[in-house]
Amino acid sequence: MFVLFFLVQSVCWSQHKNEIAATLTDATKEIYIKQKLTYYNSSNDGLSVIYLNDWNHAYSNKKTALAKRFAEEFKRSLHLAKDRERGYTKITSIVGQDYQGLHWERLGNKDILRVELAEALDPGESVQLFLTYTIRLPHSKFTTYGFKSNGEYYLKDWYLTPAIYDGEWKLYDNMDLDDQYTEPINTLIDFTFPSKLFLASNYDEDGLVDFTEGQYVKLMANNRTNCKLVLSRTKRFTKHVTQFLTVTTDLESNNFDEISQGISINKVASFLDENLGRYPHPNLLVSELDYNKTPLYGINQLPSFIRPYEKQFQFEMKFLKTAIHSFLQETLYLDTRRERWVNDAIGTYLMIRYVEDYYPNQKLAGKLSKLWGFKNFHMAKMDFNEQYALLSMLSARKNIDQALTTPNDSLIKFNRKIANSYKAGLGMSYLSTYLGGEKIDSSIISFYKSHSLNPRVNATDFKNEINTFSNKDIDWFFDEYVATRKKIDFKIKKLKKTEDSITFTIKNKRQTNVPISLFGLQKDSVISHYWFSDIDTSKTFTIPRNSEDRLVLNYDQKIPEFNQRDNWKTLNGFFSSNKKLKFQFFKDTEDPYYNQVFYVPIANFNVYDGITPGLRLYNKPFLERPFNYDIAPTYSFLERTLVGKANFSYRKYHGKSGLYVSNYSLSGSTSHFQVNSRFSTLTPAVSFGWRPNDLISNRRQSLLFRFRNVFRNIDENVAQQIDTDPDYSVLNLRYRDVDNNILNYTSWFLDAQHSSDFTKLAFELEYRKLFESNRQINFRLYAGKFLRNKTDSDFFSFALDRPTDYLFDLPYLGRSEDSGIYSQQIIIAEGGFKSQLENPFANDWIATTNASTNIWKWVEAYGDLGYIKNRGENARFVYDSGVRLNLVTDYFELYFPVYSNRGWEIAQQNYGERIRFIVTLSPRTLIGLFTRQWF
């Protein structure tokens, strides 16, 4: 019966058809496949070639698009993978319907096969291809797809599928974006798989049979693009049959009982049926694996045992997020590589609607919002749905936001996973508020009803559907909000009032021509509400006066506005408009109605001050803002005095690429560099940053101008050791170019310094390369030259191994130590040597190279060599070598010298004193290891 239905549908719809016989072998992790593909030419052109997606081959080597994408995101797993962990496709034959072999080729290193037909395929005609091939599944640690170490499997995009032709071929590589663009096909799969595995699928199952060598099942689906298979060791999937759809799921529920799960699933199914439409397939697969690929980011990412939400709410949001994603992926066949924003807009909007309908009082912080000590935080007062604006604005405030129309493979990870999806949903919520909720809701339902299962649906169809239900001009939404990365930012100025009217000017600070809402408030009650549009730069309006005491733009925060801190104006005089000062423990979300000052206890350490506890005062919330101050006074118990630092900065972002940021700052610090010897610095600075148009690229360039002023108070007991003036100033100019790639890291800078006593130039080049053999080479070149040097001291000289750091830039724990453990701290700067050689300073010029390569895992061999020259002396050749334990590059390393100018160091006395170490104590620096793959 199923087969007959399958064949009838194929004929009636003149559609592609797939008949597959697949056998999975557990021992080899391979699937042997015989496939009969009936390809129907639905275009207006004759076709002499057909292209097939072969996404399993993306795991085959280190040069595929998938491997390159992993490198850009600082993921080394695929590059370092063993051959047995890789996946590939081995084609045995491709035969035409006349049973003659067809010529085929793989497009370079792409996940695409090009098949030449025996004769041109006319429009409206079909051709049959017979394919025999074996796929070696990859380890699931790369993308979650493939085989797991425990013998389970998760398969998606695993067999060959036809690429889309709509006048041109859409040929996309697998980049772990879950956006394969293929034709919907009627598919029948005879699948044989190992015993003791339980199967779950998004396809219909029929005739599951156990036999001696394994299990057999028939999988069927009409008008589907891909067959998902989950083969597990335990029977963890359950089937829930509702009046709206049938769900197969294994979502973890954190002690949420099965009956309650069923009630919640039925509730979500009813919501989707009412607000989207009837699911056209017999089965919806909602798996834990799918949720982990696209989770609901935010507080939901906390471990389940400390999430501050009720079990029912947690489960429903988790199920809703995964169900919507699968629902749309299985029915709206958009080109999600190019037009993913449509699914994002619908999906996130429905998430927002669900909470508004069923959990209108749900707070973002959940139960924490009622706890003493936390309930006064602004974050505790935020509604759950406000997280979408918060997280999408995180990208905009960093100037790394991208237009919703940006192709999926051009989005940085944070925008692809979080920001763009949330911005798209907020845009629909914005439209809903502007047009009236019922119009947007109706347009979504109509769009889904008209275009579900349509193989050629696109974003223009979505736009036309919304226009059909709109009674206002909404071109701004698609032209400004969707197609550009322009920010929305308005403010009220020039307010005048009379007894019966209020006249005011709204300024469009970003020239983004979109509507803006205005609310009139009396205390905290809304007594008037208006929409204003067509404000290019600024526009004056007059409204009736209805006893308002405040006018507030975007009071309900339905508009994703860049800055809401200047959105309100009081009608009670200038002094009443001043925002109150609010001191808040620890960092908080931004409260537009207060001037927030955050404070947090801190503790620093160096040898001379010891542990220095103190209080940090700053104004930066979770989102970036242009002007920041950071004041951190601390107390030195060893010196019994105040130390610390302060910084005032203003950051101005420009365009997306080229010169994208300017920074202006004034900073100061004070601490001790020896017992009872204090240094203080005062530094005005300006810097500029450049980046390429492709934000995925990790290349950045910067130019820094700063004027470092150093003041020293020196203890009388060590004054004779100081042979330079205690106070000095240095003008510093540095240009830096960094391409931070995990496979090929390149960084260089040119540094110029000028003071009353010297002028010097320095150049540094650093290069790291990870070869296909998994061997890594690290190379560094440093060269410096004094153009003038009026000093007789080595305080400003170039150093081989431990610079004096006269600019006080380097985080030495004991900067004046020449013995003991703290003297063994090394910071790779200037000469970069690890052995402590005699006469390590150069007051004329220096040229050194540092190199290392891995021996085994994080064990490396290093070697340094170079020349240094002092005035009036011949240049000296210097060298050292040894073993490096590269535990965390630049953050925690150990160096064991072996041989140098001093001879065999490893055989000399007191060898432990020669061991050098690198350690980083800054939490901000360490956090950068984890955030770099997101931004």
Tell me 440's DSSP state.
Answer: H
Q: Where are the beta strands (DSSP E) in 509-562?
A: 516-522, 525-532, 538-544, 550-553
Residue 189 is which amino acid? I
Residue 916 has pLDDT above 80, yes or no: yes
| HEC sequence for 339-399 | HCHHHHHHHHHHHHHHHHHHCCCCECCHHHHHCCCCCCCHHHHCECCHHHHHHHHHHHHCC
* Residue 7 pLDDT class (50, 70, 90 cuts): very low
Of the candidate ranges 16-20, 200-204, 420-424, 592-596, the one whose mean pLDDT is the lowest? 592-596
Q: What is the pLDDT of residues 537-582, one digit of tens each?
A: 999 999 999 888 889 999 999 999 999 888 988 887 655 555 778 8
The structure tokens listed for 616 are 């940090």
Per-residue pLDDT, 8: 41
Residue 135 has pLDDT above 50, yes or no: yes
Give the per-residue pLDDT at 924: 66
Q: What is the rounded average pLDDT of the residues 423-439? A: 94
In this prediction, residue 316 has a pLDDT band, given cuts at 50, 70 and 90, of very high
131-166: b (≥16 Cβ within 10 Å) or e: bebbbbbbbbebbebbbeeeebbbbbbbbbbbbbbe
C-alpha to C-alpha distances, 910 to 167, 804, 913, 914, nearest whole angstrom = 76, 24, 6, 7
Instruction: Please return the burial class of 434, using the count of CB atoms within 10 Å of its CB with bins 0-12, 13-18 and 19+.
Output: buried
**Chain mean pLDDT for the chain:** 92
- Measured between alpha carbons, how far is 73 from 697 in angstroms, rounded to an integer? 10
pLDDT of residue 922: 67
Burial class (CB in 10 A: 0-12, 13-18, 19+), 305: exposed
Contact 253, 308 (CB under 8 A): no
Q: What is the mean pLDDT of residues 268-280?
A: 96
Q: Is 687 helix (H, G, I), strand (E, B) or coil?
A: strand
C-alpha to C-alpha distance for 120 and 266, rounded to whole angstroms: 50
- The pLDDT value given to residue 930: 63
**C-alpha–C-alpha distance, residues 808 and 681, integer Å:** 8
Share of the chain above pLDDT 70, in %: 96
Q: Is the pLDDT of residue 241 over 60?
A: yes
The model's confidence at residue 299, banded by pLDDT at 50, 70 and 90, is low
DSSP letter (8 states) at residue 248: E
Of the given ranges (220-224, 294-298, 412-416, 808-812), which has the lowest mean pLDDT? 294-298
Query: How far apart (Å, rounded) are the C-alpha atoms in residues 850 and 837?
Result: 15
Say if residue 119's pLDDT is above 90: yes
| Residues in the chain, overall count | 935
Which residue carries 């036999």 as its tokens?
211
Span 581-614, pLDDT tens digits: 889 888 999 888 888 999 999 999 999 999 999 9
To 5 degrees, how large is the angle CA 229–CA 235–CA 241? 75
Alpha-carbon distances, residue 724 vs 562, 706, 720 (angstroms):
51, 22, 10
The pLDDT of residue 524 is above 90: no
Tell me the C-alpha distance between 681 and 645, whole Å.
9
- Could you identify the residue written with the tokens 């600070």? 509
Q: Which domains does the chain have, with CATH numbers?
A: 1-233 (2.60.40.1730), 366-482 (no CATH), 490-578 (2.60.40.10), 740-935 (no CATH)
Q: How many Å apart are CA 875 and CA 393, to the nearest integer?
A: 56
Residue 83 and residue 775: Cα distance in Å, rounded? 16
CA-based radius of gyration for the chain: 33
pLDDT in the model for residue 792: 87
Look up tokens 């209080």; give the residue.
Answer: 615
Residues 6+ apart with CB under 8 A from 126: 14, 38, 39, 40, 41
Q: For residues 565 and 320, which has the higher predicted lDDT (pLDDT)?
A: 320
CB atoms within 10 A of CB 843: 22
Following DSSP, what letter does each residue of 84-124 receive, concatenated? GG--EEEEEEEEETTS-B--EEE-TTSSEEEEEEEEEE-TT
Name the 3-class secondary structure at 797: coil
Tell me what pLDDT residue 12 has: 39
Angle between helix axes 341-358 and 459-469 (nearest 10 degrees) is: 50
- Give, in order, the Cα–Cα distances in Å from 713 to each of 472, 809, 902: 71, 18, 37
Give tens-digit pLDDT for 743-754: 899 999 999 999
The pLDDT, as a whole number, for residue 4 is 43
Please check whether residue 84 is in contact with residue 194, taking contact to mean a CB–CB distance below 8 angstroms: no
pLDDT tens sequence across 837-866: 999 999 999 999 999 999 988 899 999 999
| Interatomic CA distance for residues 446 and 254, integer angstroms | 37
How would DSSP label each residue in 798-821? EESSS---TT--S--SSTT-SSSG
The reply to whether the predicted model has a pTM over 0.75 is yes
| pLDDT greater than 60 at residue 474 | yes
- Strand pairing category for 30-40 and 744-754: unpaired
Q: Which residue has the higher pLDDT, 935 or 6?
A: 935
CB atoms within 10 A of CB 737: 15
pLDDT recorded at residue 573: 67
> What single-letter amino acid sits at 647?
N
CB distance 895 to 915 below 8 Å: yes
- Average pLDDT of span 480-509: 93
Are the beta carbons of 155 and 145 closer than 8 angstroms? yes
Rounded mean pLDDT, 31-36: 98
10, pLDDT greater than 50: no
Rounded-to-integer distance, Cα 41 and Cα 586, Å: 62
Task: At 632, list the tokens.
Answer: 């951190």
Name residues whose C-beta falls within 8 Å of residue 89's C-beta, 6 or more positions apart in sequence: 54, 56, 57, 60, 133, 134, 135, 136, 160
Which residues touch 176 (CB under 8 Å, ≥6 apart)? 66, 69, 70, 142, 143
Q: What are phi and psi of 595, to 5 degrees?
A: -90, 105
Report the pLDDT value the prediction gives residue 13, as an integer from 0 to 100. 44
Instruction: Measure CA of the first residue to CA of the last residue in the chain; give whole Å.
Output: 53
Q: Is the pLDDT of residue 786 over 50?
A: yes
